[in-house]
Amino acid sequence: MNKLKSEKIKKRLKTSSVGIAGLGGLGSNAAIALARAGIGRLVLIDFDIVEESNLTRQYYFLDQIGKPKTLALNDNIKKINPKIKIDLYNEKLEKDSMEKRFIDVDVIIEALDSAEIKTAFVEEILTKLPDKPIVAASGVAGYGHSDRITTKQLGNLYMCYDEHAPSCDDDVLMAPRVALIANWQANLVLEILLGEDK
């Protein structure tokens, strides 16, 4: 292991912050990956509570059913890394002020569910915070076809993208593919924060 490199990475990540919009299959898994990687501060937003059906793919446990996702995920992250600073917002993203909790983070992860809200969020962030990198995902439903996922970059918008994937309205959401894309997003965040791994 390259000690110098790992010290440098540790230091850089400790002073970094990442905002995550939505704490479902994408957001909960991405948050755990980033917490393990050593991000110093996370800003987490969701208005939902943990339901039994979420446990097929989201990073929650049976005894957390009924709890707000923000509080449940906070507990789970703290069991891994108690030192990480977490700002929790148990609220719905409101159109025209979607950017407000993300103004001071280094990178934003879009981890919302419906295509309408995903689009509205990305549009608002790109328009109101044009200098902020945002990592979005589209095409998480189904299983298999890992090789179809690609990263698309359009300026400060980074997309984890499978343009041939079906909508979750017509297909199942399953842990392997959802977590794969969530970790793909987290991996991209590290690349944005640290620069390309050479």
Partner 1 sequence: MSIEVNGKEVEWIKNENIKDLLKRMKYTFPLIIVKINDKIIPRPEFSNVTVPNNSKIAVIHMISGG
Q: Contact positions toward partner 1, by CB under 8 A?
A: 22, 24-27, 111-116, 118-119, 122-123, 126-127, 136-141, 152, 154-155, 157, 159, 161-163, 165-169, 171, 173, 178
Given the complex with partner 1, which of 85 and 176 has the nearer CB atom? 176
- Least distance (Å) between residue 198 CB and partner 1: 26
Given the complex with partner 1, which of 13 and 109 has the nearer CB atom? 109
Cα–Cα distance between 22 and 191 in angstroms, integer?
21
Given the complex with partner 1, which of 39 and 161 has the nearer CB atom? 161
Residue pair 126/98 in contact by the 8 Å Cβ criterion: no
DSSP label of 65: T
User: Which alpha helices (H) appear in the chain, and where do they start and end?
Assistant: 3-14, 25-37, 69-80, 115-128, 175-194
**Nearest Cα residue to 39 out of 2, 60, 10, 77:** 10
- Least distance (Å) between residue 141 CB and partner 1: 4
Residue pair 110/137 in contact by the 8 Å Cβ criterion: yes
- Least distance (Å) between residue 8 CB and partner 1: 31
Instruction: Indicate the SS3 state at residue 152.
Output: strand
- Least distance (Å) between residue 41 CB and partner 1: 22
- Least distance (Å) between residue 2 CB and partner 1: 35
Tell me the backbone φ, ψ of residue 57, rounded to 5 degrees. Answer: -155, -15
- Least distance (Å) between residue 4 CB and partner 1: 36
Given the complex with partner 1, which of 4 and 154 has the nearer CB atom? 154
Tell me the backbone φ, ψ of residue 8, rounded to 5 degrees. Answer: -65, -45
Q: What is the C-alpha end-to-end distance of the chain, expressed in Å? A: 15
Given the complex with partner 1, which of 51 and 163 has the nearer CB atom? 163
Given the complex with partner 1, which of 38 and 118 has the nearer CB atom? 118
